[in-house]
Amino acid sequence: MSEFNYAMASSADDASTQVKGTADGSLIAGGMTLIPSIKLGLATHTDLIDLAGAGLSGISVEGTTVTIGSMTRHVDVASSK
């Protein structure tokens, strides 16, 4: 497995800034495909920026509009009322 730097983004803007500041960075949104690919040598990245702390999850309702964040887990959508 290749070595890489890991960072946790605190917001979408922070993630964007961090990934732009790398030579070969990638965003992690769960890592279910990327991390195994790196372990198998199928992908290489110098930097991984985790979106888990970027505040992109959640469900909100305002009037007739429902907003589902891009990092919201399927189980949270399925169990919401």
Interatomic CA distance for residues 14 and 44, integer angstroms: 22
Please check whether residue 35 is in contact with residue 13, taking contact to mean a CB–CB distance below 8 angstroms.
no
Neighbour count for residue 7 (Cβ, 10 Å): 18
Under the banding of pLDDT at 50, 70 and 90, the label for residue 47 is: very high
Mean pLDDT across the stretch 34-48?
Answer: 88
Question: In terms of residues, how long is the chain?
Answer: 81
Indicate whether this model's pTM tops 0.95: no
Please check whether residue 11 is in contact with residue 54, taking contact to mean a CB–CB distance below 8 angstroms.
yes
Mean pLDDT across the stretch 9-31?
Answer: 92
**61-81: pLDDT as tens digits:** 999 999 999 999 999 999 998
The mean-pLDDT minimum among 4-13, 36-45, 55-64 falls in 36-45
**pLDDT for the residue numbered 51:** 95
Rounded to 10 degrees, what is the CA torsion of 73, 78, 79, 81?
Answer: 110
Q: How many domains does the chain have?
A: 1
**pLDDT for the residue numbered 67:** 96
Domain that holds residue 20: 5-79
CATH of the domain at 47: 3.30.43.10
Interatomic CA distance for residues 15 and 47, integer angstroms: 12
